[in-house]
Amino acid sequence: MIMQTLTDPRSILPRLLFQPVAVDDSGKEIDPAIERAGRRWPSLHPALEVAAELARADSIYEAPAEARELALARLPAEQRFHAISPTPSGLACSCNDWPPTTNAGPGDGRYCADILAYLLALYLQRPLSPLPFTAEELWQTALEELRLQMTRAAFNQWLLGSFAIPEASTPLSLTVAVRNQYAQEWLAHRLHPLIARALRTVAGYEVSVHFITS
Ligand SMILES: [Zn+2]
């Protein structure tokens, strides 16, 4: 239990990053915290600026409780989310900036703006935002994307009328009901790469999906 607390990056990294010198709790504001971290790790400076923007906009979202991911980040102007997940030595992110080409900062030194923003939110003790869409909304948006990529006949045959089952789905893992077993097998085997790519485009992170007959 103690080992787990000591090695959980969420318990030590926020302090190491944003409070490298002893300061009292009145220092728990975004700008001074970013400034302290930037002074100590100058190469993190650009990512820290973006992290401050994410924190100011409350753009760190809570991942579903049962997910492997810890949080999702999204700049207000962007559609896509980046998923932050634990690794054996720190945190990983689904964005293109991770892993960084050079390591800097405490722990394993692999930080992007999203991870820094998540750790900043923990440091500032700001509540994470609830995800702004449901699993069903995510599936419906992906369907619109797939409609553009498939012939009308194929779309109608395999996907028309499909829906995510709310009680068996989260925005990270969908259970989708389709019309019959033939469609279920075709989607799972032939169309899975296309569907996985559409979901990733819409969500910005890997969404697992499996199909059942309705
Ligand atoms: Zn990232």
Task: Give the Cα separation of 179 and 36 in Å (integer).
Answer: 57
Task: Give the Cα separation of 196 and 205 in Å (integer).
Answer: 10
Top pLDDT among 9 and 115 is at 115
Give me ligand 1 centre to Cα 161, in Å: 35
Give me ligand 1 centre to Cα 200, in Å: 15
Count of other CB atoms within 10 angstroms of residue 93: 26
Are the CB atoms for 14 and 118 separated by under 8 Å? Answer: no
Give me ligand 1 centre to Cα 3, in Å: 27
User: What is the pLDDT, as a whole number, of residue 23?
Assistant: 58
Task: Give the Cα separation of 31 and 113 in Å (integer).
Answer: 15
Are the CB atoms for 82 and 94 separated by under 8 Å? Answer: yes
Residues of the chain with CATH 3.30.300.180: 135-213
Is residue 2 predicted with pLDDT exceeding 80?
Answer: no
Highest-confidence segment of 5-14, 22-31, 72-81, 191-200 = 191-200
Closest to 58 measured CA to CA, from 121, 15, 112, 13 = 121
Euclidean distance between the first and the last CA atom of the chain, given in angstroms as a whole number: 44
Q: How confident is the model at residue 77 (pLDDT cuts 50, 70, 90)?
A: confident
Give me ligand 1 centre to Cα 39, in Å: 21
Q: Where are the beta strands (DSSP E) in 54-98?
A: 60-62, 71-73, 82-87, 90-93
Residues 92-115, mean pLDDT to the nearest whole number:
95
* pLDDT tens-digit series, residues 175-204: 999 999 999 999 999 999 999 999 998 888
Give me ligand 1 centre to Cα 114, in Å: 4
Give me ligand 1 centre to Cα 90, in Å: 13
Task: Give the Cα separation of 45 and 32 in Å (integer).
Answer: 13
Residues 169-177, mean pLDDT to the nearest whole number:
92
Residues 95-114, mean pLDDT to the nearest whole number:
95
Give me ligand 1 centre to Cα 48, in Å: 12
Give me ligand 1 centre to Cα 118, in Å: 10
Is residue 28 predicted with pLDDT exceeding 80?
Answer: no
**CATH code for residues 135-213:** 3.30.300.180
Give me ligand 1 centre to Cα 152, in Å: 36
Q: How confident is the model at residue 1 (pLDDT cuts 50, 70, 90)?
A: very low
Give me ligand 1 centre to Cα 62, in Å: 15
